[in-house]
């Protein structure tokens, strides 16, 4: 396995798997360039070293169909602006259009291929498709951490066709951040888990119980715990088949001397709407027909106090329906507390997905240590799973 820092890219065509799966508005303009910005250092490293770059990515879920709304042509202008060089575009990722475009680029130039997922062969991990992609470049760089947990053609299969293959800076930084949290954490270590379901996070929760001092649980998943404890949770989200699992987690936390902190109270609503009637309630006595959509003021105070005393913080999942203004305060307050702790010397890892979206929404992106670009991939890595996209480079 080569290293991007020391590799000689002079006159080499670097085929780089990036994650440019970015949100677009109705005018097909990029509304959040975080993932593009993250890939810039890797691309610039190759160009500065005398190489050229061929960028490949997916966008959305076109499911094997060529659809204009999922075309990567819409992001060419943004990528060009971020790189400071004009980016050429190939109207296909394989075949004549791709071969001709790749054949013409010279040192210092950049080419973006059309959406990989216009072909089902990409997600199926098709070997022939991977070979067609591999033939376009001399050296392969995987810098798409967000897809590293998928055994796709452009991430897990393609690497076998290259002698020279390596990780880009995004993946290197992601692994370093995860390592810092899981293996080299300074105490007290606090993990904050939110989101809708325990079932999505169970493996990570179990692993974290061996690592953390505090485990804060908020968001929709907390109501399953309150139901398991015999509380009245009204019409709040609950996984009825996970009540025993919730009890087991509570017992495990006690056994391992982990301070498992559930939210004392909630902001409750008469329906799932920003315009619903709103009230507050203790989480063991939410009235019938009402649902918890955010953590309440007592929970905010308790959670913030724990976070502020922490030296290592890992956050994955919001505290409520932060997309609605009436239910954003809990998530915003947690983000604020993490930013404060970071300013005081704590290391904070924001675990991609909704947590990253929340940090960006509330403008704390420059006040935390690291924001992961890969939600699902980071979760699986932290759970201890081997990611196909990483294994392919290391093998």
With a CB cutoff of 8 Å and minimum separation 6, the contacts of 305 are none
Residue 392, in any domain of the structure: no
More confident residue, 356 or 353: 356
Among 167, 182, 201, identify where a domain stops. Answer: 167
Among 167, 186, 203, identify where a domain stops. Answer: 167
User: Do 357 and 215 share a structural domain?
Assistant: yes
What is the Cα–Cα distance from 176 to 260, expressed in whole angstroms? 27
Residue 391, in any domain of the structure: no
Read off the tokens for 78. Answer: 């943004």
Residue 384 has pLDDT above 90, yes or no: no
Strand, helix or coil at 227?
helix
User: Do 320 and 204 share a structural domain?
Assistant: yes
What is the count of structural domains for the chain? 2
Backbone angles phi, psi at 120, to 5 degrees: -65, -25
User: Do 288 and 250 share a structural domain?
Assistant: yes
Residue 273, in any domain of the structure: yes
Residue with tokens 């201890």: 384
Lowest mean pLDDT among 63-72, 116-125, 126-135, 378-387: 378-387
CATH number of the domain encompassing residue 248: 3.40.50.1260
Note whether 221 and 193 are within 8 A (CB).
yes
Confidence category of residue 184, pLDDT binned at 50, 70, 90: confident
Alpha-helix runs per DSSP H in the chain: 34-48, 76-83, 95-104, 120-124, 127-134, 169-182, 198-208, 222-228, 243-255, 297-308, 329-343, 353-361, 375-382, 388-394
Note whether 14 and 158 are within 8 A (CB).
no
Angle (CA) 367-370-1 rounded to 5° is 155
Known catalytic residues?
35, 197, 353, 376
Residue 387, in any domain of the structure: no
Span 190-248, pLDDT tens digits? 999 998 888 888 888 998 999 999 999 999 999 999 999 999 999 999 999 999 999 99
Helices and strands: H and E segment counts in the chain:
14, 17
* Residue 266, CB-side half-sphere exposure with 13 Å CA sphere: 31
Residue 394, in any domain of the structure: no
Confidence category of residue 374, pLDDT binned at 50, 70, 90: confident
Confidence category of residue 183, pLDDT binned at 50, 70, 90: confident
Q: Give the residue numbers spanning the domain of 25.
A: 13-167
User: Do 199 and 280 share a structural domain?
Assistant: yes
Q: Give pLDDT, residue 144.
A: 96
How distant is the alpha carbon of residue 358 from its chain centre? 12
User: Do 163 and 183 share a structural domain?
Assistant: no
Among 167, 199, 233, identify where a domain stops. Answer: 167
User: Do 129 and 243 share a structural domain?
Assistant: no
Q: Give pLDDT, residue 373.
A: 82
What is the Cα–Cα distance from 392 to 240, expressed in whole angstroms? 39
First to last CA, the chain: 8
Residue 198, in any domain of the structure: yes
User: Do 121 and 179 share a structural domain?
Assistant: no
Read off the tokens for 111. Answer: 């080419």
What pairs with residue 370 in β-bridges? 349
Residue 34 has pLDDT above 90, yes or no: no
Q: In the predicted model, what is the mean pLDDT of residues 52-64?
A: 96
User: Do 94 and 193 share a structural domain?
Assistant: no
């Amino acid at each position: 396995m080569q290293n991007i820092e020391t590799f000689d890219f002079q006159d080499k065509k670097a085929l780089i798997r990036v994650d440019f799966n970015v949100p677009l508005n109705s005018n097909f303009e990029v509304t959040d360039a975080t993932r593009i910005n993250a890939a810039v250092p890797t691309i610039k490293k190759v160009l500065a070293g005398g190489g050229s770059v061929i960028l490949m990515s997916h966008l959305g879920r076109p499911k094997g169909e060529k659809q204009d709304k999922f075309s990567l042509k819409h992001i060419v202008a943004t990528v060009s602006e971020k790189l400071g060089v004009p980016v050429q575009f190939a109207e296909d990722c394989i075949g004549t259009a791709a071969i001709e475009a790749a054949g013409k680029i010279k040192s210092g130039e950049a080419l973006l291929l059309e959406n990989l997922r216009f072909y089902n062969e990409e997600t199926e991990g098709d070997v022939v498709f991977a070979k067609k992609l591999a033939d376009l470049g001399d050296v392969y760089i995987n810098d798409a951490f967000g897809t590293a947990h998928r055994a796709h053609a452009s991430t897990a299969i393609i690497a076998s066709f290259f002698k020279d293959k390596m990780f880009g800076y995004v993946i290197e930084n992601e692994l370093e951040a995860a390592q810092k949290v899981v293996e080299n954490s300074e105490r007290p270590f606090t993990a904050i888990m939110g989101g809708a379901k325990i079932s999505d996070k169970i493996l990570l929760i179990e692993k974290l119980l061996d690592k953390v001092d505090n485990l804060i649980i908020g968001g929709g998943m907390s109501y399953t715990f309150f139901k398991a404890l015999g509380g009245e949770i009204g019409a709040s989200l609950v996984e009825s088949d996970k009540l025993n699992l919730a009890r087991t987690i509570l017992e495990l936390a006690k056994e391992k001397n982990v301070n498992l902190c559930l939210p004392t109270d909630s902001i409750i609503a008469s329906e799932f709407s920003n315009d619903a009637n709103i009230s507050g309630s203790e989480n063991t006595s939410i009235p019938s027909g009402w649902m918890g959509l955010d953590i309440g003021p007592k929970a905010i105070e308790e959670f913030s106090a724990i976070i502020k005393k922490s030296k290592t913080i890992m956050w994955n999942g919001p505290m409520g329906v932060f997309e609605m203004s009436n239910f954003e305060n809990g998530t915003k307050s947690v983000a604020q507390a993490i930013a404060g702790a970071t300013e005081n010397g704590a290391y904070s890892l924001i675990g991609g997905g909704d947590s990253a979206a929340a940090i960006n929404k509330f403008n704390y992106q420059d006040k935390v240590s690291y924001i992961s670009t890969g939600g699902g991939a980071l979760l699986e890595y932290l759970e201890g799973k081997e990611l196909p996209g990483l294994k392919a480079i290391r093998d």
